[in-house]
Amino acid sequence: MGKITKEEEKLFAEMKQLKKQIVPDAHLIEQTKKRVFDEDKVYHHTFLMIAIPTTLILFLAGLYYFAYARPTASLLYEQTIQQEKKQKKNMQTETMTATEEKELYENAGQEQGLTKKQIDQLHQKGKKSTSSSLCKSVIGIRKAKITIETVTICKYGSVSIRLYEDRTSYQYERGSGGWHLTQQTIEQL
């Protein structure tokens, strides 16, 4: 047991070599840990550099859309009703002739199956009333479309006649000063 032969020395040398290959030394382990930590740090920072600004941009875009750019339907509806009232005032100043008005009553009465006497009573003693209601609204960031139905009814006693009915579509676009009317179409019903 005393003497180590050359063969055994050679085997010990090979074992030491294999041990170095299999089990790295402490310095190499520390370098590897540091490199992995640095790579994780880089990936983490890269993720944060992308995620934080993206989240912030999405939040600000949502805030802009809901708080500023997208109007409520009621706001545009009120604006549209004001527009309609202005138009009705203009239409009232442009009065119909007596024959045109009589013709309007006769046509509406015949469509609804009223007698000549009822039509004459409505024409002479009836009260006209006009009502508007929101029919449809499509509102986006830059454009909006509102459709309003307007009905004019003349009523006397228990008899009523629908004189005029139309559907008016208003298209708005957002400009620097707010919402502006760009197109208006009227469809008589």
What is the DSSP secondary-structure string of 111-126? HTT--HHHHHHHHHH-
Mean pLDDT of the region 59-80: 75
Sequence-separated (6 or more) residues with CB below 8 Å from residue 135 = 147, 148, 149, 167
Q: How far is it, in rounded angstroms, from Cα 52 to Cα 63?
A: 16
Q: Are 171 and 145 contacting, i.e. CB atoms less than 8 angstroms apart? A: yes
Assign residue 157 a region (left: φ > 0; alpha: ψ between -120 and 50; beta: otherwise).
left
Sequence-separated (6 or more) residues with CB below 8 Å from residue 118 = 109, 159
pLDDT for the residue numbered 93: 47
Q: How far is it, in rounded angstroms, from Cα 124 to Cα 159?
A: 13
φ and ψ of 159, to 5 deg: -100, 135
3-state secondary structure of 41: helix
Residue 55 confidence (pLDDT) above 90? yes
Residue 59 confidence (pLDDT) above 90? yes
pLDDT for the residue numbered 73: 61
The letter for the amino acid at 154 is C
Q: Are 130 and 154 contacting, i.e. CB atoms less than 8 angstroms apart? A: no
pLDDT for the residue numbered 150: 82
As to burial, measured by CB atoms within 10 angstroms (0-12 exposed, 13-18 middle, 19+ buried), residue 69 is middle
Which token pair is 163? 């004189």
Mean pLDDT of the region 11-25: 79
The predicted-structure confidence for 92-124, as pLDDT tens digits, reads as follows 545 667 777 778 778 877 887 778 888 788 777
Residue 175 confidence (pLDDT) above 80? no
The letter for the amino acid at 166 is D
Q: Are 101 and 126 contacting, i.e. CB atoms less than 8 angstroms apart? A: no
Q: Where are the beta strands (DSSP E) in 66-177?
A: 127-139, 143-156, 159-175
The letter for the amino acid at 144 is A
Q: Taking the model in full, what pTM does it have?
A: 0.53
Which of 35-39, 41-45, 180-184 is predicted most confidently? 180-184
